[in-house]
Amino acid sequence: MFTTIFSWFNLNSYCIILFGACGLFNGNPISNVKAAFSNKYFLAFFAYFLTDLLGLLHAHNLHAGWNIVSKDATLVAIPFVLCSRPFADAESYKKIMTVCCLLLAAASCWCLVRACGNYIKTRDIEEFFYHPLVRPISQNAIFYTVFILFGLLFLLSSDLGAGIPGISPAGGKRLRLVLIVFFCGMVVLLASKEFMVIMLLILAYFFLRQYSFRQNRMLLIGVGLAVVLIAALLVLTDNPIKKRYTDIEAANISVIEKEQFNPGVYFNGIQLRLLEWRFAFEILKEHRAWLWGVSTGDSQDFLNQKYIDANMYLGAPGRKGRGFIGYNFHNQYIETLVRSGMVGLAILLVLFGLMIGIAWKLKTGQSFFTVLILVIFFLPQSPLTMQHGVFLFCFFPLLLLYGPKGLR
């Protein structure tokens, strides 16, 4: 968890290997393998990994394909450990999530300290928002927001796990409240448009579940007025969060219909994604790859060629940046379709179906919102192209299976 949050990806890879080895040799290895391959969750993750692996058989860029497949091995290692034998009980689940919340709090504090230092030097308020805020831990702001939301869901659903040194039960309650407020503030600073809306839905759900409007009318009205006041401040003042919303309003969708662009043209988030999705369907059509895809190794190369053919910005000569080269499809469903075709997309949808089944089985707000966040997360992003995105996708949904069923 530590190496994932702080983006120590080389060390993280070794941790994942060791984690998988512990799962294999904890008890009888043969029995563990048999148990895993009789588990529907593990089989679904393994099948998704297998589609990426088999894609190497017809890939031209084996090096790129192998780099992606090596990251996707996490989709096998973590589900193997969580599905081959009992991984935790309700109490140890709470301890795991407590440690996760404390790590997120520590990482967030470090980011804020660095942002203060950078602001003193530059006087640029942008240092406290979006990608610049999480630059000290090499995180993507959207990915980190998902981590924070998963921590917030746990804090709203349960008390902190026992065993925090030097903290009494009363102190644990106060710490929990502080972390809830702090995590809500971090979501606002991270400025993810869709996840700020999700956070408001989460808070509304848990407040209404815990507090009766008839009995706690003044409390709920006060909270509602606080939310309205904060929203009004964001709308009426000039700030980076407001700019992200006004940027969407200014989008001219017709721009993406062009075949050639001036390299200096600016694409906002919606325009760029729609253009990339158009390129995706063109790639599938040109290579007749609807069933099996163009392979994990070649999908990014074909997309890069589309950027080149469209005369899009490719970086300034003599500088490190390569412009749009390397930008993925920014939609995991489309990314999977291009990589592995309808077969891979079908397996991904089966995985989400199984996760919905977990939420339906547990019937908790935490499980429902965990799955909802991932479903939405995959629409504007391609999380499975990055190591921490793969971790988010397989660890937290399966960990729910070990949570207290009484959580709400």
Domain ranges of the chain: 89-249
Distance CA 99, CA 102 (A): 5
Residues 6+ apart with CB under 8 A from 171: none
**AA letter at 164:** I
What is residue 307's predicted lDDT score, i.e. its pLDDT? 95
Q: Are 332 and 281 in contact (CB under 8 A)?
A: no
Give the CA angle between residues 329, 135, 10 to the nearest 5°.
75
Distances (CA, A) of 286 to 28, 67, 277, 314, 344: 49, 25, 14, 23, 19
- pTM of the predicted structure, to 2 decimals: 0.91
Cα-Cα end-to-end distance for the chain = 24
Print pLDDT tens along the chain (408 aa): 999 999 998 899 899 999 999 999 988 999 999 999 999 999 999 999 999 999 999 999 999 999 888 888 899 999 999 999 888 888 889 889 999 999 999 999 999 999 999 999 999 988 999 999 999 999 999 999 999 999 999 998 887 766 577 777 788 888 988 999 899 999 999 988 889 889 999 988 888 887 655 555 665 566 667 667 776 766 666 666 666 666 665 666 777 888 899 888 888 888 899 999 999 999 999 999 999 999 999 999 999 999 999 999 888 765 666 889 999 999 999 999 999 999 999 999 999 999 999 999 998 999 999 999 999 999 999 999 888 899 999 999 999 998 876 443
Q: Are 110 and 136 in contact (CB under 8 A)?
A: yes
What is residue 404's predicted lDDT score, i.e. its pLDDT? 73
Q: Torsions phi, psi of 371, nearest 5?
A: -70, -40
What is residue 406's predicted lDDT score, i.e. its pLDDT? 44
Q: Which of 370, 297, 281 is nearest to 333 (CA)?
A: 281
Q: Torsions phi, psi of 313, nearest 5?
A: -60, 125
What is residue 164's predicted lDDT score, i.e. its pLDDT? 73
Distance CA 58, CA 71 (A): 19
Distance CA 226, CA 298 (A): 50
Q: In the 8-state DSSP scheme, what is residue 159?
A: P
Residue with tokens 């000039």: 238
Residues 6+ apart with CB under 8 A from 92: 161, 402
Coil, strand or helix at 39 = coil
H or E, element range at 2: helix 2-5
